[in-house]
Structure 1
């Protein structure tokens, strides 16, 4: 079982089927909050939908295509983060994340994104890590900016959010930049 300890309060653990109920509860409790920026809430209406997400994620993990982890904050599942896409041929990983509303404002996601970036570059030996964020999502954009990711550009109308398109800003971190900055 994959567990990555970040600090005394925070760790990442590969998502397991036993997590489905808690992840669904957290999703449901934060539904209105999450729906502002995440397009999948209408497709997550029952715990079985979360189970399907976990099954797909486990298959993709075995095939080295992605890696979904639960964020454990003080031993409790606070959200989900990981690599939405891993492309071994190009040595790139794309980080995705969400956090339950009650866990916001504690610096959790910045620490998680830092740990995932470090893991991708120094353990998985990726050359580049990307974070794509809705252009107007200031809280989420602050995370790669705090970590020194470079803003690489925008993708117009990149995602359909229920009744409108949103542009994405692409942030990137190269291995050589990360390892230089972390010394």
Structure 2
């Protein structure tokens, strides 16, 4: 999958070190909303996470991760994932993260559009969700730019990695 500027590639062992480098370099901004960041600090942890991502992709279960690669220089920008939540619906949740020095350039908006297309065409998704902390304004802006409708706000429904309570917002789009 690709757009004019980016390519989305499935997990592979060649991405272990670039992902680890990106997570470590942008740990301060990523860890505000992503609880897995503290568990992604060593090459061993990154390798294990990649093995799980490859297995999930091969068996089409759990979370299907796609690595966002800028075409002009092959730089790993971040990850966009499809969490396969309920195959009976079918329902998928879209999640994403990006290097903080690449935020605001439209890369995640492009990636969400491509992964959404994949979910509709290859997984026959009927419902897509983007779920975020209410205070994660950048993530919410992506959902809104991509045409997702704010469906619910769950008060005090999550604890952020730093410990404070936050509301959860659910954006959705139907086929």
Equivalent residue number for residue 112 of structure 2: 113
1:16 alignment partner, one of 9, 12, 30? 12
C-alpha distance in 1 between matches for 2:165 and 2:12: 32
CA contact (8 A) 2:32 2:160 kept: no
Q: Give the counterpart of 2:66 among 59, 69, 86.
A: 69
Query: C-alpha deviations, 1:20-73, integer Å up to 9, x for none?
Result: 011000100000011111111111121211111111122222332221111001
Cα distance in 2 for residues equivalent to 1:103 and 1:145: 19
Report which stretch shifted further, 59-68 or 87-96.
59-68
Query: Does 1:130 pair with 2:129?
Result: yes
Flag the structure with more relative contact order, 1 or 2, with Cα contacts below 8 A and sequence separation at least 6: 2
* Length-normalised TM-score, structure 1: 0.87
Instruction: Give the total of aligned pairs.
Output: 171
Partner Cα separation in structure 2 for residue 166 and residue 49 of structure 1? 28
Tell me the secondary structure at the aligned position of residue 98 of structure 1: strand
Q: 1:1-183 alignment to 2 at 5 Å?
A: 4-7=1-4, 9-65=5-61, 66-74=63-71, 75-155=74-154, 156-175=156-175
Give the unaligned 5+ runs of structure 2.
none
Shift of 1:160: 4.0
CA contact (8 A) 2:31 2:37 kept: yes
Greater mean alpha carbon deviation, residues 105-114 or residues 158-167: 158-167
Contact 2:11 2:57 (C-alpha < 8 Å) held by counterparts: no
Instruction: Show structure 1 runs of 5+ residues with no match.
Output: 176-183
* 1:141-171 deviations in Å (ceiling 9; x for gaps): 0011111111110233234423223321001
Q: In structure 2, what is the Cα distance between the partners aligned to 1:39 and 1:166?
A: 14
TM-score by length of 2: 0.91
Structure 2: distance between partners of 1:122 and 1:55: 26
> Secondary structure of 1:51's match?
helix
SS in 1 for 2:147: coil
Q: How far apart, CA to CA, are the structure 2 residues paired with 1:159 and 1:50? A: 24
Aligned partners of 1:5 and 1:137: how far apart in 2? Answer: 26
